[in-house]
Amino acid sequence: MLMDENKQNKENFEMSNNKPQDTQAPKPQENEETMENIFEQYIADDIRRGKVVEGVIVDATDGGWLVDVGFKVEGFLPKNEWSQGILVEEKETPQKGETVTVKVVSIKHGEESQLIVSRWRCEFDRRWNELEKHLEQSDIVTVKGLRKVKGGLIVDCLGLEGFIPISHTSEEGKSVNLSKLVGGTFDAKVIEKDRRKRRLVLSRRVILEEERSKLLDEFYGKVSEGDVVEGTVSTVTSFGAFVDLGPIEGLIHNSELSWQKNVNPRDVVSKGDKVSVKVIGIDREKNKISLSLKQLQPDPWESAKEKLSVGDIVKGTVTNVMDFGVFVEVLPGVEGLIHIGDLSWHRIKHPKEVVKKGQTIEVQVLSLDWENKRIGLGLKQLHDPWKNIEERYQVNQDYPVKVVRLTDFGAFVELEQGVEGLIHVSQIARKRVEKPSDVLSIGQEVQARLVDMRPQERRIRLSIAAIEEEKYRKQREEEKKQRMAEQAKSKPQFASDEDNVSVTIGDILGDFLK
């Protein structure tokens, strides 16, 4: 190319100087330039800074290579001018005899002529121009993943290294294994370029989202709530499983995985499983799809109608403990509620005082509402402390009791766990009591007499006053006897010598009591 052009120029130059002359040739002068000097000057004028020329690698040195570009001296191509970071190279160094395109970056004439050339500068310009030309037709380019770097991926974009930030390697909210992109080709969109800074930034996410948007429009156009669709389980979490439906992922919440309560999602499905699911919710604005697996399975409440009856005693597992009661799974997928009032015969502040989650217990079926899918259960009914209570307590007997509640009309006391009775305010003491709290306190233990018991009504009446009254009456009788004994002792004794009769104090007291 340029060397051939220079050779042709030299030949033309010599031919023009070999034409016949009409006059005799002038005598050469001392300052007359030779033909060789004139040609060298011609070539020197053609080789200038910034010019792109072709040359041949003629030799290698410690710092680079020597390149013959047709100049009077060989050009020097430093190693750092062979390539630059943004260029994607097939080979690291040139071979001797290889033709290369270089740009003149420095030239020095004279006795110490010097020519410095660069390959990467003209190569960068060529590749960048190709990129610009391509972008005039389309802003999408096909790139090849080269390597992972901190924060993203380096790709080959028309021979130039481009950077795809990790946030632009996949759709928003999704992640991708960058290693899977290395070595592969895919489309990307240029979102930033700066020729001066040799900066090129691309995005794969933009293209994926544009494609996904089209697929979503098609999906929403043919799928409605209630439809059954096929998908692949993509992720299993603690709260459910995500299913890949193609352009979008849907969520099967734990509550929709199985009729059985508190199941571990990993016990129901695994990543990669092919599943048929029912669409139970579509939120197009937020691109959220709710799915159900259990709704494609038989409803256990239907079969439960044949298995449960009021009064049945069944075993179940505590699935949840709430402030108001406890949920128990009595059949797979069938739960009932034990209200806090049906947990224990004695008063409790919270159900956790009686049972805990996961515990297996026996319960009694108290009510069934198949229409609303509600079952009432009872625990305390299986441990009724009032059963055979007449065998443990009798009327007119005294028992130790514990004060559990105080009201204006009396005090409720506990005879045993689950068995309470009432001491009316009039029976708290012999004397008049205005407020039960003036005499008794919660937690206090006292003796009380059972004065009335009605097991069928679960009612017991007790009295402290009756015990006090009995003690008072006995005390009065003892005092009376003591007074009479003292009176009898103080009376004089009479004796007759004739009859020789002796009278004792006992005889006198006996006559007195008759």
Residue 251, pLDDT > 90, answer yes
User: What is the average per-residue pLDDT within 178-189?
Assistant: 92
User: What is the average per-residue pLDDT within 382-398?
Assistant: 89
Taking the CB of residue 70, how many other CB atoms lie within 10 A of it?
A: 22
Confidence of residue 502 (pLDDT cuts 50, 70, 90): low
Instruction: Indicate the fold that domain 392-468 takes in CATH.
Output: OB fold (Dihydrolipoamide Acetyltransferase, E2P) (2.40.50)
Residue 107, pLDDT > 70, answer yes
CB 259 within 8 A of CB 297: yes
**β-strand 459-463 against 419-424: which pairing, if any?**
parallel
363 against 484, higher pLDDT: 363
pLDDT tens column, 372-385: 999 999 999 888 88
Instruction: Indicate the fold that domain 138-209 takes in CATH.
Output: OB fold (Dihydrolipoamide Acetyltransferase, E2P) (2.40.50)
**Residue 491, pLDDT score:** 63
Confidence of residue 282 (pLDDT cuts 50, 70, 90): very high
**Residue 33, pLDDT score:** 52
**Residue 253, pLDDT score:** 94
Residue 182, pLDDT > 70, answer yes
User: What is the average per-residue pLDDT within 273-277?
Assistant: 93
Nearest CA to 512 out of 475, 485, 492 is that of: 485
Instruction: Indicate the fold that domain 50-123 takes in CATH.
Output: OB fold (Dihydrolipoamide Acetyltransferase, E2P) (2.40.50)
**Residue 121, pLDDT score:** 81
Please state the domain extents for the chain.
50-123, 138-209, 228-296, 300-378, 392-468
User: What is the average per-residue pLDDT within 402-418?
Assistant: 92
Helix (H, G, I), strand (E, B) or coil at 15: helix
Q: What is the C-alpha to C-alpha distance for residues 125 and 132, in angstroms, rounded to an integer?
A: 10
Confidence of residue 93 (pLDDT cuts 50, 70, 90): confident
User: What is the average per-residue pLDDT within 247-264?
Assistant: 88
Q: What is the C-alpha to C-alpha distance for residues 66 and 77, in angstroms, rounded to an integer?
A: 6
Lowest-confidence pick of 84-98, 370-384, 449-463: 84-98
pLDDT tens column, 423-443: 999 999 988 998 999 999 999
Residue 423, CA distances (Å) to 246, 279, 280, 355, 428 in order: 74, 63, 59, 32, 6
The CATH number assigned to the domain with range 300-378 reads 2.40.50.140
Helix segments in 269-403, DSSP class H: 300-304
Confidence of residue 446 (pLDDT cuts 50, 70, 90): very high
**Residue 19, pLDDT score:** 41
138-209 shares its CATH topology with 392-468: yes
**Residue 24, pLDDT score:** 45
The CATH architecture annotation of domain 228-296 reads: Beta Barrel (2.40)
**Residue 503, pLDDT score:** 52
Residue 2, pLDDT > 90, answer no
Residue 113, pLDDT > 80, answer no
pLDDT tens column, 318-329: 999 999 999 999
Residue 300, pLDDT > 80, answer yes
pLDDT tens column, 59-91: 888 878 788 877 766 777 777 777 777 788 777
User: What is the average per-residue pLDDT within 225-241?
Assistant: 93
**Residue 149, pLDDT score:** 92
Residue 45, CA distances (Å) to 38, 40, 49, 67, 109 in order: 11, 9, 10, 19, 10
Lowest-confidence pick of 21-25, 244-248, 485-489: 21-25
**Residue 50, pLDDT score:** 73
User: What is the average per-residue pLDDT within 469-490?
Assistant: 86
pLDDT tens column, 161-170: 899 999 999 8
**Residue 252, pLDDT score:** 94
